[in-house]
Chains A and B, each alone.
Chain A
Amino acid sequence: MWVKTLLFTNVIFLISALLMGTLFISGLVQAEPVGNSSIEFSKIRFEQVTQERKGQKWLALLWSVDCPPCMKELALVQKLQQKQKNLAVVIINTDTEESSEQKRADIIKHFKLMNLKNFHFTQGQEAQQRYQVDPQWFGELPRSYFIDEQGKFHGKSGLIAEEFLTQWLLIL
């Protein structure tokens, strides 16, 4: 009996391992969010988001914990979120140091942006991931991408005016 149980368990394990392996390889499994508020950025995940949002206007906002103007833009997003739930904003943090992890979580919490899609870059791959977002972006922050209904990216560096953000994000 124990042999049958073992065999059964092993078959289940084998199937799970194969399935998990296939899923990992095909990129369908997403890692658990870090700090319950942010998941690691990847090209495929970002493309998935882009596909999911096709046909609507949205904003991808890139920020860093040591960029004061970024905080102003995050505050603007928070303000707009109060006016409209389900704001079409994806937030990408470019910090990868261990020392930044807590700060990142605190800031997301401070601006109450936990319900938005939050990504963060991977240590040692900052440049690759920056390049994956946009080869023409040199890392200056905040960096905002206004993505139109056709999925076309319009990049802008520096703090965006509230008026413009409102026009882009709020369905008035």
Chain B
Amino acid sequence: MKNINNRLKLLILVTFILSTGISQQVLAEPMDHSQHQGQKSVKQAKTICQKIAVTCGKTVTSAFAPNGDFWRIWSQQDNIYYQISPDNGQNFGIAKAVGIAKEKISARNENRPKIAFDSKQGVYLSWASPREKKYTADIRYSYSSDYGKTFSTPITVNDDGLLTGHSFNEMVVNDEGDVSIVWLDGRLKQRKDAGNGSAIFIASGNMTKAKSQFVNQEVVNGTCVCCRLAVDYNQQGKLAILWRHIYGDNIREFAITTLGEQSTPYQVSHDHWKINGCPHQGGALSIAQDNRYHMVWYNQGDKGKGIFYSYSNDAGKSLSLPLAVGEQAAQAAHPHMSERKGVIDIVWTQFTGTEHQLWHQQSTDKGVTFGIARVLATSTKGSDRPFIVQGQNNSFVSWHRFQQGHWLNQL
């Protein structure tokens, strides 16, 4: 009996060790063997992300406030959370929820909340909130006049009252608190003569001057339905918008317009990407003090594949010869750029099959020539789009990596 008991104990021990060993082996499988732990990985991710932390955010949006604070926001559990860093992203205060009622918030890929500041303690938020029907959402907006302590009850910016698409919002705010929000809008699809794709609408207001009504205006019709917009003020204070337009039979090329300065948009790219689909890749625009428009975009056309950079001295009417950026064979994609005092920084991601890489290339002569491209950071657990954000004295790159965290680095 004692012998049996000993054997039983041994057996239980062996069973325990083996079963534990197997579990560990399964958990320790590399990414390529994820099929074994697929269900586990999802469950683990969900478990980890019960806490409120930026690592749980799928995407992060960030910006510097006029006082030099760095803010980052992300969406989690139908809230927008924010954290403030006083030292360029080295340390952050605790994560706080924006004090508004919970609602659904689009925060993936190209479509995510936006944050901006004025010079009077104003903090501005804008996001798309999905509605009950597929591809429908409203553009939402909330404002804080006390540097985030309290936020206004959110309002819906789109004024059509239609259950249709309103998303891919971008927002700019100047020091005086003039807010402009642009977005992709599906309301024109309701018309019988509706063309292909979406339309761009704009609404402007100023909370500090009691112009809280966002009057909607159509900018252009026939745009791609699933790529972000890019906006910047030019030196005349006019807002320029860069987007992916639909030309002819689903030729997706970038186009630009400067509001109040032209009646017809200029075509920017000529890569001939014919696709009746979703590229999920918008461009970036940054206008310099000399009014030179700097742009990057991504295409997969039969005349142009990959990332391209170009500048224009006449608001996009004519462009410099597009410069190919990144390694097309290494999956170079998702470019962003920003100009600061004649220095152009371009960032993008590449992918080796197992590792995401954040790349950077810089021009110090207003975009005429560029230095060599270099890797800034890597990730193995997913990659958000990288963005360049402007601090008081320097440019920074902001890159979020799923479960790995948000990363800010001076360029």
Q: Which residues of A contact B (CB under 8 A)?
A: 3, 6-7, 10-11, 13-14, 17-18, 20-21, 24-25, 27, 29-32, 34, 40-45, 64-71, 97-99, 103, 107, 122-128, 131-132, 135, 138-143, 157-159
Contacts and interface: CB of A to CB of B under 8 A. Distances in A.
Given A10-B15, A24-B22, A157-B300, 10 more contacts: A6-B8, A18-B22, A25-B26, A40-B34, A40-B38, A107-B134, A122-B42, A124-B403, A128-B34, A158-B276
A69 B250 CA distance: 12
Interface residues of B, number: 57
A152 to B, nearest CB: 21
B382 interface: yes
Counting from the closest, the 3 A-B pairs by CB-CB distance are A42-B35, A40-B38, A21-B22
B11 interface: yes
Contact of B11 (A11, A44, A124, A128): A11
A124 B57 CA distance: 12
Contacts of A124: 41, 45, 381-382, 402-403
Contacts of B372: none
B382 A27 contact: no
A109 B371 CA distance: 52
Contacts of A29: 36
Contacts of B109: 66
A158 B353 contact: no
A33 B226 CA distance: 29
Given A3-B5, A140-B300, A40 B280 contact: no
B35 A44 contact: yes
A131 B353 contact: yes
Contact of B276 (A69, A127, A139): A69
B382 A7 contact: no
A109 to B, nearest CB: 13
A17 B276 contact: no
A143 to B, nearest CB: 8
A68 B225 contact: yes
B250 A10 contact: no
A31 B120 CA distance: 55
Given A14-B11, A139-B333, A159-B276, A67 B226 contact: yes
A139 B227 CA distance: 13
Contact of A10 (B8, B354, B383): B8
A24 B18 contact: no
Interface string B253-271: 0000000000000000000
A14 B15 contact: yes
Contact of B41 (A71, A99, A122, A142): A122
Interface string B9-46: 00110110011011001100001111110110110011
A56 B121 CA distance: 65
Given A122-B34, A122-B41, A97 B382 contact: no
B275 interface: yes
B340 interface: no
Given A122-B34, A138-B333, A70 B278 contact: yes
B270 to A, nearest CB: 19
Contacts of B15: 10, 13-14, 17
A93 B312 CA distance: 40
B14 A14 contact: yes
A128 B31 contact: yes
B368 to A, nearest CB: 29
A16 B387 CA distance: 50
Contacts of A67: 226, 277-278
A158 B42 contact: no
Nearest to A123: B45
B135 interface: yes
A7 B8 contact: yes
A68 B135 contact: yes
A31 to B, nearest CB: 4
Please indicate which of the listed interface residues A7, A103, A124, A141 has the most CB atoms of chain B within 10 Å of its own CB.
A124
B99 interface: no
A21 to B, nearest CB: 4
A142 B42 contact: no
A105 to B, nearest CB: 13
A166 to B, nearest CB: 17
Contact of B35 (A27, A64, A131): A27
A25 B32 contact: no
